[in-house]
């Protein structure tokens, strides 16, 4: 199936049923890892909202939720500078933190988020991302512990990810086609 947004063509990359299965498995891992803790899940908006909502339905341990809102894209272009639109409003000192990301590509926004969180001296920080683009990474991370899917360095939309505000509500994930 193909879709068009602003003269850009996109083709289906990952079906919603595959996404749901993978989220169920990640949820099991998180429940086991944090069984006797009380972690804080911090979602990075806007892109994580669908992933985080479905993930939290699989979490059956005591936990808390919070969000930050960052901007790192203009259209399909990644920006080197990350803008913080909504900051973290929670004390994380001594806490176990799980950052929930929609996609880690260059890693600029993840690095920004990690810097903010580490400044509060949490006990532990793990990253849970639906999509990881290993070929796009410009930073090294040792705490990306939960990955839904590794994908090529394609621009993707759907399941919370957008192109200029459009495409977030598609249940599947689509990649931009060339030509």
| Bond before 46 cis per omega within 30 degrees | yes
Compute the radius of gyration of the chain from its Cα atoms.
Answer: 16
Instruction: Examine the residue annotation and report whether 105 is marked as an active-site residue of this protein.
Output: yes
- Give me the catalytic one of 105, 154, 162, 172: 105
Q: Can you say how many angstroms the Cα of residue 23 is from the centroid of all Cα atoms in its chain?
A: 12
d(CA 63, CA 52): 13
d(CA 123, CA 37): 11
- Which DSSP helix (H) or strand (E) runs through 29? helix 16-33
Q: Residue 50 gets which letter from DSSP?
A: H
C-alpha distances out from residue 32 to 25, 28, 37, 59, 60, Å:
11, 6, 10, 10, 10
- Contact between 106 and 137 (Cβ < 8 Å): yes
Catalytic residues: 105
């Amino acid at each position: 199936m193909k879709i068009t947004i602003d003269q850009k063509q996109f083709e289906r990359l990952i079906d919603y049923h595959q996404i749901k299965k993978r989220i169920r498995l990640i949820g099991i891992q998180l429940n086991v890892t944090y069984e006797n803790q009380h972690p804080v899940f911090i979602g990075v908006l806007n892109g994580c909202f669908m992933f985080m909502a479905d993930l939290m339905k699989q979490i059956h341990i005591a936990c808390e939720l919070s969000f930050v809102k960052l901007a790192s894209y203009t259209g399909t272009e990644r920006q080197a500078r990350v803008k913080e639109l909504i900051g973290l409003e929670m004390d994380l000192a001594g806490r176990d933190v799980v950052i929930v990301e929609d996609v880690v590509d260059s890693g600029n926004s993840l690095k920004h988020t990690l810097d903010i969180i580490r400044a509060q001296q949490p006990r532990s920080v793990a990253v849970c991302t639906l999509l990881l683009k290993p070929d796009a990474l410009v930073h090294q991370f040792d705490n990306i512990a939960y990955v839904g899917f590794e994908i090529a360095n394609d621009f993707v939309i759907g399941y919370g990810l957008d192109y200029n505000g459009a495409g977030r509500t598609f249940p599947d994930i689509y990649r931009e086609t060339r030509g």
